[in-house]
Amino acid sequence: MQSIKSYVDGIDIKEGMQFRTNCPSCGGKNTFTATREDGVVVYNCYKLGCIVRGAVNTGMTAQEIRNKLQPRDELPDQEAELMVWPEYVVQPSAEHMLHKKFVQRWGLEHEDLMYDVKDRRSVFPIRHEGRLIDAAGRALDGAIPKWFRYTGAADVYKRTIGKSNGVVLIVEDVISAVTAAKLIPGLTGLAILGTSLNVTTMQYIDGYYKVVVALDRDAVSKTLEFKRTIHAWTGKDTHALLLGDDIKYMNEDDMNNLKKALINEVVY
């Protein structure tokens, strides 16, 4: 294990950033991650059967300590935000009728949204540790693609209202993630911004004690596959919720089954 710690100690990771590569122990492809926070590098291999995990205290530079102590609004721009809004993505106004109808349709009046005037998209900002890293834009007039990523830096979109209750609901689209969070305060709605799970997705799941997978109604086999994969990778209490309709449509039977799944009355 000392050799792994020496390997980690030699990785150049900036404060607050993450490093991913092949595992130096088991050789797993892209399964080894290391994250540096407050001068401590936490490392882990997500390949099933590999026991490599731990932490190395690398300390902080004087500049990193100064940045940590500075108020957020006094930090340099590159530290405050990792994504800069294009000039055509603006704060919504009353004249943006397509956006207004979209917000009313899905009950998004209290969400932090932007509007893309060029492509006519309602835009959901994606932040990590308070910093803007990406955004997901939903086309409002049938444009292709329906969902557009502005930087591609984010693998998931998360929404929680209030203090987390330790349960994460895996859904396919951003609106369903918001809907789930609004329905059950404390529940985290997590939308997969792609077609498959990856190592980074597993890291986002790692902070919860229970996982419920509830993908779209036409993705039953994918829902069951995600359940098996998440359980195999994380060992967490994982369930599949087979929907009659997408979460965002708030089908009464689906909502009742979701609440039951949270207390283990519905298990697949």
Report CA-CA distances (Å) from 99 to 94, 127, 144, 197.
Answer: 9, 21, 17, 30
Domain with CATH 3.40.1360.10 in the chain: 89-261
Confidence of residue 64 (pLDDT cuts 50, 70, 90): low
Query: How does pLDDT run across 89-128, given as a tens digit for each residue?
Result: 999 999 999 999 999 999 999 999 999 999 999 999 999 8
- The pLDDT value recorded for residue 72 is 47
Residue 124: exposure state from Cβ atoms within 10 A (0-12, 13-18, ≥19): buried
Per-residue pLDDT, 239: 92
Instruction: Tell me the pLDDT tens digit for each residue of 194-227.
Output: 778 888 888 889 889 999 999 988 888 999 999 9
pLDDT of residue 1: 46
Q: Are 33 and 55 in contact (CB under 8 A)?
A: no
Q: Which residues of the chain form CATH 2.20.25?
A: 2-80
CA atoms within 13 A on the CB side of 39: 12
pLDDT tens for residues 240-254? 999 988 899 999 999
The DSSP symbol for 200 reads H
Name the most confidently modeled range: 30-44, 98-112, 253-267: 98-112
Q: DSSP letter at 12?
A: -
- Tokens 């089954």 sit on residue: 257
Distances (CA, A) of 51 to 147, 148, 151, 239: 38, 37, 33, 24
Cβ within 8 Å of residue 101, ≥6 positions away: 140
The pLDDT, as a whole number, for residue 31 is 77
According to CATH, the topology of domain 2-80 is: N-terminal domain of TfIIb (2.20.25)
Find the range with the poorest average confidence among 58-62, 123-127, 155-159.
58-62
Q: Write out the CATH class of domain 89-261.
A: alpha beta
